[in-house]
Structure 1
């Protein structure tokens, strides 16, 4: 405490005497675990400062380039990078930190040197983000860093952000900008929602009609789905998709920033775009159209048709070639059983599998469990693990390896952890960023309509008190979701 008071006083005196303002504040978001100021002259960063990194280490060389570019962007000051050691003012990047958490780092500022020591290059990258965020962009020219020792490591291995490009499509450049924002906040997972009723957004070479037909809708709803009736539409065709080359480019961009992209192909519901392109995969086989409004639709993949499974396996074959992530998201949410109850093929599949319902789940819910389990087993053979929305718990078919994403509240995550399945917490009332930030809807952009202030997001605790310490270990982390039914532009996103 004395050191903190001393440093605060010293900064205030320096501000008064030199008629400047302190330009560095280490209390950034996310807040480092430990910030200990030391009683030395501050470090003055100038154009003679050199960023050094270990000889022959490509990841650290890239880290050094990132830091140099951040400093130049903030201050206009070009900073050199150099392999090996150097004399004079320097920022040293190294990976000598001994810590079981590979994303841990120690940031040390002395009078003549800044050192970012990580347990891995990823840890160094997060130390770089803390240093970058500490600079007050309103006074970037005089970069004076108070001397300090910061020790930090993330509490959760999974720190995610989701983005829906199905309802509205966003360019490659904006996806990169989105990834940059994730990196700035030390997030390490990007959940990319690529398919839904309103558009299929990824090129699959074996099924070209997915993008030729499934990526385009004839028009889009104007106004709110529930509040503005009768429904009106804009009459404008809308579409877009990412080529496989663009996907590879974005995956590499994220990897360079220590972010894993987790792709989502939403099945067996939310598949109107698929059925419009390949109607034979639906229960009725006709009268499908890519969704022009939001919500949940009765037409879903036919779970009794073996062609549906061949289609899914082919799609996931190409997907896993594009995305190295060990996690693949398969959706599993909001799948009405209306068509399955009426479909001879689905009912025959239910009979063949001996599904009779168990009091808690209907036979059709158990059939969805079969679909999820079958795709899970297919992906497991490819060395991947599935994530699904909390509906995948229905039917009791998922294996211990499946990961539950709890969105309808915390109950799904709690249930998963209690049965020793891993879970990621994304409860809508705390972590859905398409909600209003202000209490007065008339002063907010059009949104789905609920109120979620920033403080509620910041205060969210992923491990529910209902869980024992042992069960709490199955909570991988948390994720915020951004759905884009009512978000059509990069500025709004």
Structure 2
């Protein structure tokens, strides 16, 4: 499940508008020594720092209620493998008070007073005590280890403190798609190990989709013999596998058991996803008899190779598959997909139409609901429950289903109102880690919109549209990595780090304990160093928050910082992206810009391990405000001229004959698309500027649109203008060509005509106000 429809414009950051408002510029990460969370991610519920420290070394005795507890065994292995410490472990005498015993005490004594999965970590000059039970003890250990320095040594000084902690949500998930690109067992384990250390407790394993069937099913061997391999790998315009080579792989049932145990030892529940009724190309390649019937003499309907036909043979097949799946996964939940089911094969199938009539189903959405409810009844009979993507709401929700809301929050809100459990994982809120991490073209190829670290961090899974009673049905949140554009482990790691750290804090920490500035500018530092020490890849934060901006004024001062320990910052003034051979930053940069001249500052961060941020670009322009025009007609609205034809560039609209014209209240080309599959339109009028200042303008698509203010074209690289109060001429050119029909997962979408403006001294980008348009 991963709809490839939502594409937003390349969003150009606007934080530097504040600089323009004061005619000076200063960009810096507001580094602070205040560290109320002691560098811990996710932020704990309560931290009390005390004076002194405890020295942990190989001589530290570890005493546990149960030395064979899996959390204790995990700690022993970690200390040996990562810290070269072979600490002795003995049984803790529960008759003693923990404070009276030296060493590291791991005990459940007092854990009954803690919330589920909660722990209490106390570090004194004399000892360390972790009170917790099961997962709570494991999470207390994870917090303790985050207090260790990154560098390995013979002993470690740990600050004295009392930390009391428990999670906000019971479901804290991360999804990895291995169908589009296959990852080995060792690579999957690395993901599980990392998310466990940040207190996520669910690994959603997307094992089945159209591009590959990744789980061995003994009763149906062709699922992996045929369905696990394909020729070429291409999504959209991205190709990363030669046509002549077969691509694929799968996991044996023994390997599945190995991963499930590995995860369980780290208190991670593994939820398998077996897609149905759509995204089934891999299964249908192997067993084409499960497709719908077709009409003789007519071409097969779209999605015929993607959708199971709801025959008894299909249900027998799926029940057999699910029986083997449930034997491998002890999870309460089995994910059955349920998304993006193109119904055309069912509409054209004589069998499906007869079945709908027999069952009294009014349309194909109700047929899908019948399909899902029948599968749910079988899974419930085995003592399990289903999770489905929010399309399972269509046609009526299965009685006991949990809804994973991905298209937005609406599906989750509707399910909660029906008193169904909900996992919020919208692709519109930073939860989709396959999305770009900025609007820069320097980002590695990814999908669609972009989701910044701050967007991921600021998301609250509990919608304010829900009543307090309805909110309790939101049981958690999840981040998703779809791998259409993720062919390597390095890309996988780049896409999830550092966004998975933000996800962990959303899922675990109470909103009152969250602080993005502290998270991004203070606490992340140690965690980047940790990733470096493990030789993990990650996206290096830029030296300036604003990646691509334009500011107007005569004088600017820039202070550049990096949160990555030991990183160096390089900059250029010649319009080229910096390399490590360019100027190295060591003190604030001051710019005095002559009247009507421009200067360009580009920066890049390079870490000690050689990882590089994308380059930032800041264009500084000392330009006087454009004077207002002499417009006096005071007629609201804007005029347009229409040309019906196929255009490849808005430039062509300067040389065509227009066939239609009118005056409309606002800039909106959507009504024109109803009767014109291909056209170009030019809007002309006046924009009323309410106050002197520098205004930033952006378009939804610079390929399809052009914007002119007082004859000056605003481009992606130069999009700010100083304007005097009053009326200014505005012209917009826009071309539209109807997209081809949707095929499979991809639903083509042409960017709409949207003009956005950010007023001086603000950070909020708003669509151009119709009330400010005149003709």
TM-score, length of structure 1 as denominator length: 0.86
Q: Which runs of 5+ in 2 are unaligned?
A: 1-32, 296-301, 493-775
Cα shift readout 1:261-315 (whole Å, capped 9, x = no counterpart): 00000000000111111110001489xxxxxxxxx94533443411010011101
CA contact (8 A) 1:220 1:236 kept: no
Aligned residue number for residue 379 of structure 1: 379
Moved more, 46-55 or 424-433: 46-55
2:257 to 238, 248, 251: 248
1:98 deviation in Å? 2.3
1:427 deviation in Å? 0.4
1:26 deviation in Å? 3.1
Equivalent position SS for 2:334: strand
Instruction: Identify, as 1 or 2, the structure richer in helix.
Output: 1
Aligned residue number for residue 141 of structure 2: 128
1:75–1:252 distance in 2 versus 1, CA, 3 Å: closer
- 2:127 is the alignment partner of 1:113: yes
Cα shift readout 1:99-142 (whole Å, capped 9, x = no counterpart): 36320000001111101101x22100000111111222047555
Q: 2:137 and 2:101 mapped to 1: Cα distance?
A: 21
Aligned residue number for residue 393 of structure 2: 393
The number of aligned residues is 446
Equivalent position SS for 2:449: coil
Q: 1:160 and 1:154 mapped to 2: Cα distance?
A: 13
Q: 2:113 and 2:393 mapped to 1: Cα distance?
A: 36
Aligned residue number for residue 176 of structure 1: 189
Cα shift readout 1:43-69 (whole Å, capped 9, x = no counterpart): 1112210111114x632xx32232233
Q: 1:486 and 1:122 mapped to 2: Cα distance?
A: 34
Cα shift readout 1:388-424 (whole Å, capped 9, x = no counterpart): 000000001411x210000001111100001101100
1:490–1:465 distance in 2 versus 1, CA, 3 Å: same
Q: Which runs of 5+ in 1 are unaligned?
A: 1-20, 287-295, 357-362
CA contact (8 A) 1:48 1:89 kept: no
1:70 to 66, 78, 81: 78
1:133–1:353 distance in 2 versus 1, CA, 3 Å: same
Aligned residue number for residue 404 of structure 1: 403
Q: 2:54 and 2:243 mapped to 1: Cα distance?
A: 58
Equivalent position SS for 1:163: strand
CA contact (8 A) 1:109 1:146 kept: yes
Q: 1:152 and 1:228 mapped to 2: Cα distance?
A: 44
1:166 to 169, 175, 179: 179
Q: 1:217 and 1:342 mapped to 2: Cα distance?
A: 28
- 2:283 is the alignment partner of 1:280: no
Instruction: Identify, as 1 or 2, the structure richer in strand.
Output: 2
Aligned residue number for residue 58 of structure 1: 68
Cα shift readout 1:123-173 (whole Å, capped 9, x = no counterpart): 000001111112220475551111111000001000000000000111011
CA contact (8 A) 2:231 2:243 kept: no
Aligned residue number for residue 38 of structure 2: 26
Equivalence map 1:192-207=2 (5 Å): 192-207=205-220
Q: 1:389 and 1:424 mapped to 2: Cα distance?
A: 10
CA contact (8 A) 1:51 1:64 kept: no
Aligned residue number for residue 290 of structure 1: none
Q: 1:173 and 1:139 mapped to 2: Cα distance?
A: 24
TM-score, length of structure 2 as denominator length: 0.55
1:458 deviation in Å? 1.2
Aligned residue number for residue 259 of structure 1: 268
CA contact (8 A) 1:302 1:340 kept: no
Larger RCO (alpha carbons 8 Å, 6+ apart): 2
CA contact (8 A) 1:267 1:332 kept: yes
Equivalent position SS for 1:169: coil
Equivalent position SS for 1:220: strand
Q: 2:168 and 2:42 mapped to 1: Cα distance?
A: 11
Question: Which structure has the larger Rg over C-alpha atoms?
Answer: 2
Q: 1:397 and 1:215 mapped to 2: Cα distance?
A: 31
Cα shift readout 1:212-239 (whole Å, capped 9, x = no counterpart): 1111112222xx50x469x996321111
Equivalence map 1:33-112=2 (5 Å): 33-39=45-51, 41-55=52-66, 58-59=68-69, 62-85=70-93, 89-96=102-109, 97-99=111-113, 101-112=115-126
Aligned residue number for residue 466 of structure 1: 465
Q: 2:114 and 2:404 mapped to 1: Cα distance?
A: 26
Aligned residue number for residue 541 of structure 2: none
Aligned residue number for residue 5 of structure 1: none
Aligned residue number for residue 562 of structure 2: none
